[in-house]
Structures are given as C-alpha cells and as structure tokens.
Amino acid sequence: MSKISVKNFGPIKDISLNLGDLTFLLGAQASGKSLLLQMFKLAKDRKSIVKRLDNYGFVVKGNADNLLNRYLGEGLSSMWHDETSLLIDGMNFKAKDSLVKNPAKEIVDKVFYIPAQRILSISDGRPKNFMEFGENDPYVLRSFSETLRLFVQNGMNGSNVIYPLTYRLKGTVRKMFDKSIFHGAKVVMEDKGGQRKIAMQVDNINLPLMTWSAGQKEFLPLLLAFYCLSGPVQNVVNPKQYEFVIIEEPEMGLHPQAIQTIILQIIEFIHNGYKVIVSTHSPVLLEFVWAYNELKKLPKKCQLNAICDLFQLSSKSTTREIFKDVFDKNIKTYFFSRINDRVVSTDISSLDVNSVDPAVFEWGGLTQFSSHVNDIVAKYVSAYGE
C-alpha cells in the first residue's frame, strides 16, 4: 500500500494518505487536492520529468526551485519552505534539493496523470504539443496534451475515426458512452484549414469542437486517455509501464448516467492492476463507494450478481469479468478540509451514514445540502402543510 505524507506545503498543513487500489479525494476548490497529486507524480517520476523538461529546453540544471517553477508554474517554488516535508513510499524529501537528487535508474513514467484542465489540451480542435502552453501552465497538463497528440497522430493505426473504436473499450462501456454522451454520432479527424482537427459527424454534417455540448467537449480528452490505457499495446503509449492512474474530476460536464459508465472504466483499470486515484466533487462516485461498502458485507456467493445488477449488466455481458475480484480490492476515501485556513485530511472511507462525524456521514460535504433541504422541507411541511 502506497503512503503519502505532505506537511507545510502551500495551503497544506498536514495530509496523510494510505492509498488503496482505488482512492477518492474530496474537498472544496483550492483545498490542495491537485497540489498533492502533482507532488505525488513529481516524487514518482522526477527523473523522467527532468529529462523531458531538458529535452524541451526548460532550465533545471539541478536546481530544485527551477524544477518546481517549471513543473507547477512560474513562482510556485515559494510554496516549499524550511518546514516542508514530503514522504512518499519511504522516499523522504525533507530538503527541497532532494527533489533533484534522483538515484533511480528508470526514466519511464509510472504515473499516468489526467488533469482537471484537460479541455485546454484540445481547445483548438486538436491536441496541443508540449510547447504551446504558457509558462504558468502546469507540467501535468503539458505532458498529458503531448501524450494525446502523439497518440492521435501515431497510435490509432492510421484511422481518422476517434469514436467509436471497437478495439479500445469494452463493448458494454462503448455502448453506454454512446447512449449517454454521443447519441449515435461519430468523432473523426478532418482536414480543416491545413490542419487535422476533431469534428463530430451527425447526419453527414461535421460539427467543429466548439459547437459540441460542454459535456462532450470535456469528455473527449478523457476518452482519449482511456484509449491510451486500454486495448492492444501501441508504439506511442505503453500502458504496461504505469502503476498509477490519476484522474481529476472525471465527472465534469457529464450526466450521472455517463458518470456511472466512467465508474465501470475505473473498475476495469483496477481489475487490470492499476492503482487509481480520483479527485471528485460528484456524489455519484461516492454513492458507488457507499454501495460497494455495503455489498462487500454480503455473502461472497451473491456479491457478483449484486454489483452487476447495480450497473444493470446482464448475465451474458462480458463486462462482468471486471467484477470477479472487485471485492478483494481496497477502496479508500479522504476528505480535505481547512482548519485555520490550512488544509488537513480525514479518512472517511466508511461513508457511514450513522457516524457522529459530519465529515463521514455527509460524505465530505457532498450530501450536506441535500440533508439540509430534507430537514427544512420536513420542518415546514409538518408545521404548515395540510
């Protein structure tokens, strides 16, 4: 089990996590979730990160401040000070300079990072290259966009069709995405103004990216990331090299039905051996975790049927295979909250609705308004209703 401890870094006072096979991070905006996840990747992949920055002409030269400014954004190295510490899987980065002292021999990335700002990677209708971003854009966005660019150019066997692809997603997942997001449309690469750009074919009309719904636009880079990690191995991205998959806010712009399908894809990832970390503001994802916790208490002989019923999978669906070992997995949930304007973490993995701790029974605040609405309506209906 991977362990993360970050203290006194930026807004973070003290965050300690024991990662499960699947880990959810909750918290309001600017509560340090992305910062922690970026530092996790930096600790794990710092040698390959330094090499890529150097290849693109970014100055690091063994200087930790240079590395942090190139990686997080210009000027953000100041978040690390004398009281800062970073401990990840036994690697202790007490001193800032330890970030640029890397005895590891491997250069390949171990963390596949899908950032929350992923729509920026295709904002011009095509995946941008690493150098098209500004100095304040984080490395994880640059790297993600570059990966998508290379995959679209060289990893699709010369096909102009992005969706649907029969060999990248399981049939059930693909059909569910079609039903909830694309509604029979096809996503293709077309030649436009001398460039190959993304378009959606609907009734023989090619619609440019900016005419799509917000959910469709937000989902496309996520879909391409799923392609990189699923299906047959291709030359551009080797899915077997990764140990961790980080997904920030997979629910952005999506209907709950589509979010349910994303949960299926995440379950397939952990079935395939990835450790997945998800930051989210979606109660749908937490409803799954709560249901998982309850179903795990059932006799083993009925667990598989129960979770398949949860996702409305028939007894003949080949997707059922991803659930065969799901109840052997460990799912963790953490809530990031502020105390005196500094961020701390709380383990709320039980999601026990009978807990006395509001962080637990309100699922990190995701059900707080719903509970409040129920209380207010009940109060006034009982007092004034007919």
Per residue in 340-378, pLDDT (tens digit) is: 889 999 999 999 989 999 999 988 988 888 888 888 888
Confidence band of 165 (pLDDT split at 50, 70, 90): confident
Percent of the chain with pLDDT over 70: 98
- The string of pLDDT tens digits covering residues 113-159 is 999 999 999 998 999 999 999 888 999 999 999 999 999 888 777 77
- The string of pLDDT tens digits covering residues 269-309 is 999 999 999 999 999 999 999 999 999 999 999 999 999 99
What is the pLDDT, as a whole number, of residue 310? 93
Residue scoring higher pLDDT (72 or 165): 72
Contact 107, 85 (CB under 8 A): no
What is the pLDDT, as a whole number, of residue 34? 95
Distance CA 204, CA 197 (A): 17
pLDDT value at 105 more than 70 = no
Confidence band of 222 (pLDDT split at 50, 70, 90): very high
Specify whether the backbone of 365 is left (phi greater than 0), alpha (psi in -120 to 50) or beta. Answer: left
| Mean of the per-residue pLDDT values of the chain | 91
Could you tell me the CA-to-CA distances from 260 to 165, 180, 326 in Å, in that order?
A: 20, 10, 16
pLDDT value at 94 more than 90 = no
> Cβ–Cβ contacts within 10 Å for residue 307, how many?
22
The one-letter amino acid code at 28 reads: A
What is the pLDDT, as a whole number, of residue 333? 97
